[in-house]
Chains A and B, each alone.
Chain A
Amino acid sequence: MAFGPHLLLAVLEGLVTAAVLSLTALGLSLVFGVMRIVNVAHGEFFMLGAVLAWAVANALGGHPALGFVAALVIAPLIVGAVAWLAERLVLSRLKYNPESTIVATIGLLYVIQQLALTFYGPEARPVAPPFSYRLSLPWFGYSAYKLSIIAAAALLLIATWLVLTRTKIGLTMRATQYDSETAQAFGIPVGRVYAGVFALGAMLAALAAVLIVPISQAHYLMGQDPLLLSFIVVIIGGLGSLRGTVVAAVLIGVSDGVVSMFFSPTLAKMIATLAVALVLVFRPQGLFGTAPR
Chain B
Amino acid sequence: MSGQDKPAKIYALHLAVLAALFALNFVLPAYYHGLMARILVLAVFAMGYNVLFGYAGLLSLGHAMFFAAGMYGAGLGVVHFGLGVPLAFVSGLACGAVLSVVIGLLALRTSGVAFMIVTMMFAQVFALSLIYFAAWTGGDQGLVIPQTARMLNFGAVALDLTDPTVRYMTALALCAVALFMTAALVRSRHGRVLVAIRENEERTKMLGYDTFANKLVAVTVSGTISAAAGAAFALLFGYVGANFAGVQYSILPLLWVLLGGAATTLGPLLGTLVMYVVTDTASSFTSAWLLIVGVVLILLVLFFPKGILGTLRARWLGWLP
- Give me the interface of A with B, judged by CB distance under 8 Å: 38, 90, 93-94, 98-100, 102-104, 106-115, 117-118, 224, 228, 231, 235, 264, 266-267, 269-270, 273-274, 276-278, 280-282, 284
Q: Given A94-B302, A231-B121, is A102 in contact with B290 using a C-beta cutoff of 8 Å?
A: no
Q: Report which of B59, B107, B112, B131 forms a contact with A266, defined as CB distance below 8 A.
A: B131
In the complex, the answer to whether A107 meets B121 with C-beta atoms within 8 Å is no
Stretch at the interface among B24-32, B293-301, B310-318: B293-301
30 inter-chain pairs at a CB distance below 8 angstroms, sorted by A residue, are A38-B113, A38-B116, A38-B117, A94-B301, A98-B112, A99-B59, A102-B61, A102-B113, A104-B301, A106-B251, A106-B297, A107-B295, A107-B296, A107-B301, A108-B294, A109-B294, A110-B290, A111-B290, A114-B289, A114-B290, A114-B291, A224-B247, A267-B132, A270-B128, A273-B121, A274-B125, A280-B114, A282-B109, A284-B110, A284-B114
Residue of A nearest to B247 (CB): A224
Q: Provide the bound-state CA to CA distance between A107 and B293, in Å.
A: 7
Give the dominant DSSP class at B's interface: helix
Chain B contacts with A in 250-307, Cβ cutoff 8 A: 251, 254, 258, 288-291, 293-298, 300-302, 305
A102 vs B62: C-alpha distance when bound (angstroms): 14
Which A-chain residue is minimally distant from B286 (CB atoms)?
A118
Residue B159, interface by CB 8 Å:
no
Given A266-B132, A281-B118, 6 more contacts at CB 8 Å? A111-B294, A114-B290, A118-B288, A231-B121, A277-B106, A280-B110
Interface of A is mostly: helix
Can you name the residue of chain B whose Cβ is closest to the Cβ of A110?
Answer: B294
Least CB distance, A209 to chain B, in whole angstroms: 20
Chain A neighbourhood of B302, CB < 8 A = 90, 93-94, 104
Question: Which residues from chain B contact A112 at a C-beta distance below 8 Å?
Answer: 294
B319 at the interface (CB under 8 A from A): no
CB distance from A258 to the nearest CB of B (A): 18
B124 neighbours in A (Cβ, 8 Å)? 228, 273
Partner-A contacts on B (CB < 8 A): 59, 61, 106-107, 109-110, 112-114, 116-118, 121-122, 124-125, 128-129, 131-132, 247, 251, 254, 258, 288-291, 293-298, 300-302, 305
Q: Say whether A281 contacts B106, CB under 8 Å.
A: yes
List the A residue with the shortest CB-CB distance to B305: A100
Q: How far is the CA of A281 from the CA of B290 in the complex (A)?
A: 32
Which of B114, B121, B296 has the most chain A CB atoms closer than 10 A to its own CB? B121
B301 to chain A, nearest CB (A): 5
A27 to chain B, nearest CB (A): 16
Residues of chain B lying within 8 A (CB to CB) of residue A103: 254, 258, 297, 300-301
Q: How far apart sit A16 and B9, CA to CA, in the bound complex (Å)?
A: 64
In the docked arrangement, what's the CA distance between A83 and B113, Å? 21
Q: How far is the CB of B103 from chain A (nearest CB, A)?
A: 10
**Complex contact B128–A266 (CB within 8 A):** yes
The CA-CA distance from A100 to B117 in the complex, in Å, is: 15
